[in-house]
Structure 1
Amino acid sequence: MSSTLSVRGAAGLRAAAMFRPRSLLLLADPALAETAIIARNLAAGGFEGRRRVIGLAVEGFEPASSIESLPEPPDLAVLCLPPARLEPAMAALAARGCFAAVVPGPAPDLGGICARTGMRALGQGSFGLCVAAIGLNASLAHIPPRPGKLALVSQSAALVRAVLDWAAAEAVGFSQIIGIGGNANTGFAMALDWLARDAGTGAVLLDLRRIRNRRAFVSAARAVARTRPVVALRAGGRALDGSGITDRVMEAALRRAGVLRVSGLEDLLSAVETLARVRPRLGGGAAAQRGDRVAIVTNGIGLGHLAADALLEGGGRLAVLASESLAAFAALLPEGWQTGNPLSLGPGSGPRLAEAATMLAALPEVDAVVALHAPAPEEAGDVAAEAMIAAARAGGQRAAPVLVGWAGQATAGRQRQAMAEAGLAVFATPEAAVRGALHLAKDRRNRAAAAELPPAEVLELAPDRRSVRRLLQGALTAGRRGLTEEEALDVCAAYGVPTIPGRRASGPQDAADAAAMLGFPVVLKILSPDLRHKSEVGGVTLGLASPAAVRAEAEAMLARVRARLPAARIEGFLVQRQAARALELRLRLGDDPMFGPWIGFGQGGTAADILEDEAYDLPPLNLALAGQLIGRSRTARLMAGFRDHPAVNQAAVADVLVRLSQIAVDFPEIESLAINPLFADAQGVLAVDAHLALRPPGERGVLAIPPYPAELSRPWRTRAGEVLTVRPVRPEDAEAHGAFFHSLSPEDVRWRFFSPLKELSPSLTARLTQIDYDREIAFIASRRHGDGRDETLGVSRLIRDPSDPVKAEFAVAVSPAMKGQGLGRHLMERLFEWGRANGVQEVIGQVLADNAPMLAFVRALGFAVRRSPEEEDVMEARLPLQG
């Protein structure tokens, strides 16, 4: 039994009205500056739909006296009105059935107006909306956008105009330009959800300032990045946070979504030039996974050396060309000329540059080619440029992309323009061309990592949540938002993090007695809620080897701290057994205003803050993500071992990161938690010190990525008496999902996927197992084998459309061996239960007309079935969900 997944139907109508309207109303005050600009652009754009205007005369628009007099509601309204007139106009539009608007001017309470009227609006201060396919230019553009495959979603009208101006000179075109403006109502998530389904968009640019809904944004960005490059720029990040953490957390969030982050306008334009024109080669195997093996060919070795330096400095690799590959270039080189990478063809070789670039692009050891040209005397530069254009047109998807660096301006500028007009990725300098190649490689890595299939290994956690709850509540009851070091370590221990043995002591003699019980040597630490860094005031002493030494040091420590900070509250001492020295690491849980809780990893110790070695990611983490987080830090090189230092047990460190992530999931009232140092060596890890702070009462952190809903896991008994586990799917189920697919008959596969698939591709497997638990659910029925392996026996899936979340589409499939056991009905009932709990009012599915078992099954569940009006061989099944 099976049903297909689809995005067709009424669920997308509101988004279509906004982003691909069939009719338009301009409601404008002639006194406003933006009115004349938008009216002029609308008139010149050639919008194909019905056009009406209220408030002024616009060529090609039908005049109307009022909203109430319109013969039918428009899909989209453009409101060039002063703030006081916006709400009455939007209320009147909503009453007529128009729910989509663009607000280019000021609108201080736009979010509130939309909430009160039910409208969806781009603004305030929206640049407007351009849709090339339908001739819509409802924007503040100073020049008309050229049609193309690039979509731009921006909060800044100034940045859009700058990109437009550059794009006009570079012959770069746009499928859509969406001005989010102040992001008060219709924001990035809705725009990205639309672009994910827009076949006319080949790449997406994002100008980020403010994200209103972090979960919706990350989910929508990930949906787009599955099928096309997405590039994001954020201006002002460092100005808002001098520490740089906010910027790096945003980069971590974008990385998890598969989005390429760039650092400035120049970088953005370079990425546009590359991603709008070229694509990475198909295939390539494991060696091409990084996508950064670059071959450089030039008519002047100086340019080649500049490019090679830029490539290596940017983290790329010079492609190592096989000897037989190099031999093929002998005919292109002057006699006695050396082959290599960079490959210099010598002076006057411009026309041969395209031939050499094409040959390099065909080599399997090359991921990208950078072809560089400098003007030369008595050389036909125009001919060389034409040869490059011809070579680019002849290249196939199996060839590596070619990026062109055409240096100069007086003669080269015109030649670059010709190549840009022909669709080549062409740059004015070797460094810019290399930057484009590195953008391609990074985009490939980011998108591959976002869809990476993790191993089946799952870290099964059994934390003592009750004791943690007791510790946190005790602190709040005592009026404290900060836990003591001892309490913070107890929280870590409750989640299975190995911690150093220690005892709390009220005074010097008590500390000496505690040390005698723990064994020597010991570490003595002052306990005070007013001292975050105890070592700075002499509040930590190592290597105490006797009770007398402990007592004497405790008395001296009290005197030191009271002399330096007489107002500090002293609550006693913490005595700990001293651990053997090892590599010191720092693991942190913090909170970002835009993306919420984050996890940091890097080198620890007292100098951690000034070492600036910290990599970032977002919870939740699994073991695969934790390993990648470690690998992005410089500390990873120390962990691999050096000189006489053995390698650190990296698996044990990843284990702690996953446990820290689970603390963030389970206790959103925690604002920050730092383990520093975490000692790590070949044997394992040991948490020596920890700090934990709570949020103000009533505040809770919201993860940008929804965690795994483990609470939905339940046992279920088949009619034959076997007990299976029915639980939500997780990324680690990828291997079992592939095995389940192979257990289905060819007929079941055709019924399920509407096509005779032979294999589940890695990208489709990732799509089926790496889901957004806020938007959709997939329940699997799982059998646990004696070796710990899980076998998937059935899957049901319910997906809500983001633009109309009260409707959801279902799919279900059951292994042939489990048919007749009631599993399909149970999996569907679990979908209905989840749907009701999450506000779904109607479940919809599409079933092939010859799938008689499925049609009988859904009718038995109460679905109404009718033939699809769009496809003769498809039946549509609908079931209203009751509360």
Structure 2
Amino acid sequence: MASPIASRGSLAPLFEPRAIAVYGASSDPTKIGGRPLDFLKSSGFDGALYPINPKAAQIQGLPAFATVSAVPGPVDLAIVAVPAPGVLAALEDCAAKGVCGAVVLSSGFAETGGQGVAWQAGISALARRTGMRVVGPNCMGLISVRRRLLGTFTPSAAGFGLVPGRISLVSQSGAFGGYCLSLIRQRGLGLNLWITTGNQCDVDVADCITHFAGDDGTQVIVAYLEAATDKDRLVAALALARERGKRVVVMKVGRSEAGAQAAASHTASLAGSDQVYEGLFRQYGVWRARSIDELFDVAYACSVNAPAPLGRRLGLLTVSGGVGALMADVASDCALDVAPMPEDAQRRLKELVPFCGPRNPVDMTAQLVNDLTLFGSNFQIMLEEGGYDVVVAFLSSVGQVMELSRSLLEQLQAVLRRFPDRAVVFSSLASPEVRRMYEAAGVLLFDEPTRAVRAAAALVYFAEQSRRAAQADPPPALPAGALPPPVRAINETQAKTILASAGIAAVPERIAADEDAAAREAAALGYPVVLKIASADIAHKSEIGGVIVGLADEAQLRKAFRTLTQRAATHAPQARVDGVVVARMAERGVETILGVVRDPVFGAVVMFGLGGVFVEAFQDVAFRVAPFGVAEARAMIGEVKGRVLLRGVRGQPPADEDALAAALAALSVYAARHTDGIESIDINPLLVLPRGRGVQALDALIVPTTGAA
């Protein structure tokens, strides 16, 4: 079976064309059909340009042609800006000419409903039939800075003014993409490729991430995502980007219900659960930005050639105690380790600057301006004795003075030659010249100190993800004797039997049809025991009092049997009752919850959480798209705040996290194999026993897909 990536045609004709035809070209450079041609001429694009318009012999000083087929030479890319009813005919003309790529700027398709849906379906069918890669419709086009290719009508591209760099950006929204382009110019960030995908009748965000991942000129991939259209290709694209060492920063909208509805209506796409996207991004080492500033702060941080931090220890150097405290607060929010300086190091700092605050943040006070050599000395002590992996230094407005900035950089470089593996982030108001000087030296420079700290957190995250990717393992094999999922509702014992065949151990138990049988089974298992109603029609037994624990002898068991059958008859009179489940009373351990849900976009998704209030009150859970290996399961466990219970608290022994991770991986493999047959799985609770003792499923529910029978 071909991979999702290999089965799609290359986007190279879109970004590396030798000749471009503008279909619907206009002599008026302010119109949608005129602006791309004007941009391509003024930017210095080095290929051939062919205006296509049957009503003119010449457009913007270039010979015009009635159709693409009339162009004498080959055409690689067509930019289409004709009214919606004429787009398909234009693309058919392009296909006949052998054009490999097209950008449809025209609107009036699926986003408007009605006839527009049919027109867009026709474009999709043409792309599949001919292999032409089509961007849009209803998009703002694309840019290749290195080719000086401005295939867009957004005013943000006017005058070019783009700095070549290693950031490539894809946006589902054309307007947002244009806004981002303006921000990139305003910030002076280095841009490589830029594209907006619009309605995504063919080329989508996954295609663009795949292309960027394979592009040597791209180091950072920035994406604005409203909804995924193809799970397999998005996952494959993110996996490829991680494999190639590209850092991916995504803004995914639709976290709120209102936001999800707006995204779906805008793109005519189906949005998956936001928690699932969150899990997917963590699974593949993607940084999810929560604001536009953060999106570009992190992209900028990743585009500068700075060392990857080896750990989470953060040193803070400041000329203002108040700003130091502010940075420390943000560092705590980012889970960075603002460990104090060693006592001897604090003493040495005090000797250098008697009025300094030597703990961490290290406050140099305004004394720095009087003696610039203090900067190098402080940095030396922080890196050598503090052992910080990354240092953020707040220097107020020193960056506005070139001589001061040059002196500080020289001192810093002298120190960093001894510590080439340490990352440094500066915060100072700075002139453009100073900024370029520091960035050339691999030092990030931010105006605002808390944004500098968050950027440092992103560098730490990507470094951790890179190390984790190197240790990743494949999903385990599904056991040969694994049973298929049910085709109709089953009771919990049957569910646990199926899950046990897939590698998830259960507590020893038996089903008893009557009171005497229950007594015999309890005697065989050994007291104390638990009694539970056995019924495929009662999914949540505790809600009707259908579970009684701690039965110490036969008398208690018989009384409990009669109580349970009476409760079932009272609270669920229509339920089919198979008897009771007699289970050995489990030993002490940590209760966790494992689950599977069939997401409309991503298919089988696995959930993990700690039992009790952590799931119900705090929604303290982690998600991953199935399948995955044990290493990914460990990362999943590490994301849950309640994980401290697994490490042993109040004298309790540490839990068997190895067995828990293995169970999560096994569940993911089973769920992925049977995605179409499973609506959901709940293992609640899965008891994690002390280290070396394994796990036991105490209750389980498997809901087959509707109509699976």
- 1:317 and 2:337 correspond: yes
Q: Tell me which moved more, 55-64 or 19-28.
A: 55-64
TM-aligned CA distance change 1:297 to 1:46, over 3 Å: same
Name the SS for the 2:328 alignment partner: helix
Instruction: Look up the equivalent residue of 1:27 and give its one-letter code.
Output: Y
- 1:583 and 2:590 correspond: yes
The match for 1:492 among 488, 493, 499 is 499
Instruction: Look up the equivalent residue of 2:499 and give its one-letter code.
Output: C
The equivalences for 1:61-140 within 5 A come to: 61-106=62-107, 107-108=109-110, 109=120, 110-140=123-153
- 1:677 and 2:704 correspond: no
Query: In structure 2, how many angstroms separate the alpha carbons of the residues matched to 1:164 and 1:354?
Result: 37
Q: Tell me which moved more, 25-34 or 127-136.
A: 25-34
Q: Tell me the residue number matched to 2:463.
A: 444
Asked whether the equivalents of residues 27 and 54 of structure 1 are also in contact (C-alpha less than 8 Å), the reply is yes
Asked whether the equivalents of residues 154 and 207 of structure 1 are also in contact (C-alpha less than 8 Å), the reply is yes
Instruction: Look up the equivalent residue of 2:510 and give its one-letter code.
Output: R
Asked whether the equivalents of residues 354 and 384 of structure 1 are also in contact (C-alpha less than 8 Å), the reply is no
Q: Tell me the residue number matched to 1:280.
A: 307
Query: In structure 2, how many angstroms separate the alpha carbons of the residues matched to 1:11 and 1:516?
Result: 60
Q: Tell me the residue number matched to 1:728.
A: none
Q: Tell me the residue number matched to 1:624.
A: 631
The number of equivalent residue pairs is 660
Name the SS for the 2:156 alignment partner: coil
Instruction: Look up the equivalent residue of 2:297 and give its one-letter code.
Output: S
Name the SS for the 1:152 alignment partner: strand
Q: Tell me the residue number matched to 1:804.
A: none
Q: Tell me the residue number matched to 2:113.
A: none
Give the share of equivalent positions with the same residue, in percent: 27
Instruction: Look up the equivalent residue of 2:274 and give its one-letter code.
Output: D
The match for 1:367 among 377, 389, 409 is 389
Deviation at 1:401, TM superposition (A): 3.3
Name the SS for the 1:162 alignment partner: helix
Q: Tell me which moved more, 630-639 or 542-551.
A: 542-551
TM-superposition CA deviations, 1:592-624 (whole Å, max 9, x none): 333322222221258743342222333333333
Q: Tell me the residue number matched to 1:403.
A: 425
TM-superposition CA deviations, 1:236-295 (whole Å, max 9, x none): 1343779x99333323323333322223323212212322334225xxxxxx533x3222
Structure 1 residue ranges without an equivalent (≥5)? 1-9, 282-287, 407-411, 700-883
Query: In structure 1, how many angstroms separate the alpha carbons of the residues matched to 2:621 and 2:397?
Result: 45
Query: In structure 2, how many angstroms separate the alpha carbons of the residues matched to 1:343 and 1:320?
Result: 9
Q: Tell me the residue number matched to 2:171.
A: 154
Q: Tell me the residue number matched to 1:216.
A: 233
Instruction: Look up the equivalent residue of 1:491 and give its one-letter code.
Output: I
TM-superposition CA deviations, 1:340-376 (whole Å, max 9, x none): 4322222263583875687579759333221213359
- Considering only aligned residues, what root-mean-square deviation do their CA atoms show, in Å? 3.6
TM-aligned CA distance change 1:521 to 1:401, over 3 Å: closer
Q: Tell me the residue number matched to 1:305.
A: 325
TM-superposition CA deviations, 1:627-674 (whole Å, max 9, x none): 333233234321221222111122222232232233224433223222
Query: In structure 2, how many angstroms separate the alpha carbons of the residues matched to 1:390 and 1:92?
Result: 61
Name the SS for the 2:588 alignment partner: coil
- 1:267 and 2:285 correspond: no
Deviation at 1:418, TM superposition (A): 4.8
Q: Tell me the residue number matched to 1:16.
A: 12
Deviation at 1:403, TM superposition (A): 2.0
TM-aligned CA distance change 1:202 to 1:653, over 3 Å: closer
Structure 2 residue ranges without an equivalent (≥5)? 1-5, 111-119, 262-270
The match for 1:690 among 693, 700, 707 is 700
Deviation at 1:449, TM superposition (A): 1.2
- 1:427 and 2:434 correspond: no
Q: Tell me the residue number matched to 2:248.
A: 230
Deviation at 1:51, TM superposition (A): 0.6
Instruction: Look up the equivalent residue of 1:52 and give its one-letter code.
Output: Y
Q: Tell me the residue number matched to 2:601.
A: 594
Asked whether the equivalents of residues 156 and 207 of structure 1 are also in contact (C-alpha less than 8 Å), the reply is yes
- 1:255 and 2:282 correspond: yes
Asked whether the equivalents of residues 259 and 447 of structure 1 are also in contact (C-alpha less than 8 Å), the reply is no
TM-aligned CA distance change 1:626 to 1:93, over 3 Å: same
TM-superposition CA deviations, 1:64-121 (whole Å, max 9, x none): 1212211123111111122221221112211111121111233432423322443211
TM-superposition CA deviations, 1:525-576 (whole Å, max 9, x none): 2234443222112122212344454444344334434444444444443222
- 1:167 and 2:167 correspond: no
Q: TM-score, normalised by structure 1?
A: 0.68
Query: In structure 1, how many angstroms separate the alpha carbons of the residues matched to 2:260 and 2:638?
Result: 25
Query: In structure 2, how many angstroms separate the alpha carbons of the residues matched to 1:293 and 1:61?
Result: 60
Asked whether the equivalents of residues 683 and 701 of structure 2 are also in contact (C-alpha less than 8 Å), the reply is yes
The equivalences for 1:455-474 within 5 A come to: 462-465=479-482, 468-469=483-484, 472=485
The match for 1:645 among 652, 656, 660 is 652
Q: Tell me the residue number matched to 2:265.
A: none
Instruction: Look up the equivalent residue of 1:294 and give its one-letter code.
Output: L
Q: Tell me which moved more, 358-367 or 624-633.
A: 358-367
Name the SS for the 1:272 alignment partner: helix
Name the SS for the 1:101 alignment partner: strand
Query: In structure 2, how many angstroms separate the alpha carbons of the residues matched to 1:300 and 1:190?
Result: 47
Deviation at 1:383, TM superposition (A): 4.8
TM-aligned CA distance change 1:641 to 1:380, over 3 Å: closer
Instruction: Look up the equivalent residue of 2:40 and give its one-letter code.
Output: L
Query: In structure 2, how many angstroms separate the alpha carbons of the residues matched to 1:633 and 1:17?
Result: 45
Asked whether the equivalents of residues 679 and 704 of structure 2 are also in contact (C-alpha less than 8 Å), the reply is yes
Name the SS for the 1:441 alignment partner: helix
The structure, 1 or 2, with the larger RCO (C-alpha pairs under 8 Å, 6+ apart) is: 1
The match for 1:532 among 532, 539, 544 is 539
TM-superposition CA deviations, 1:288-344 (whole Å, max 9, x none): 533x3222222222111211221123111236656787788679x545545343222
- 1:541 and 2:548 correspond: yes
Instruction: Look up the equivalent residue of 1:87 and give its one-letter code.
Output: L
TM-aligned CA distance change 1:387 to 1:181, over 3 Å: farther
Asked whether the equivalents of residues 258 and 448 of structure 1 are also in contact (C-alpha less than 8 Å), the reply is no
Query: In structure 1, how many angstroms separate the alpha carbons of the residues matched to 2:221 and 2:155?
Result: 21
Deviation at 1:386, TM superposition (A): 5.5
TM-superposition CA deviations, 1:768-812 (whole Å, max 9, x none): xxxxxxxxxxxxxxxxxxxxxxxxxxxxxxxxxxxxxxxxxxxxx
TM-aligned CA distance change 1:580 to 1:366, over 3 Å: closer
Deviation at 1:697, TM superposition (A): 4.9
Q: Tell me the residue number matched to 2:560.
A: 553
Instruction: Look up the equivalent residue of 2:104 and give its one-letter code.
Output: V
Query: In structure 2, how many angstroms separate the alpha carbons of the residues matched to 1:197 and 1:612?
Result: 38
Asked whether the equivalents of residues 677 and 689 of structure 1 are also in contact (C-alpha less than 8 Å), the reply is yes
Q: Tell me the residue number matched to 1:289.
A: 310
Asked whether the equivalents of residues 610 and 643 of structure 2 are also in contact (C-alpha less than 8 Å), the reply is no
Name the SS for the 1:102 alignment partner: strand
TM-aligned CA distance change 1:60 to 1:383, over 3 Å: farther
Query: In structure 2, how many angstroms separate the alpha carbons of the residues matched to 1:222 and 1:434?
Result: 28
TM-aligned CA distance change 1:544 to 1:380, over 3 Å: closer
The match for 2:643 among 613, 636, 642 is 636
The equivalences for 1:717-866 within 5 A come to: none
Deviation at 1:27, TM superposition (A): 0.5
The match for 2:368 among 338, 349, 355 is 349
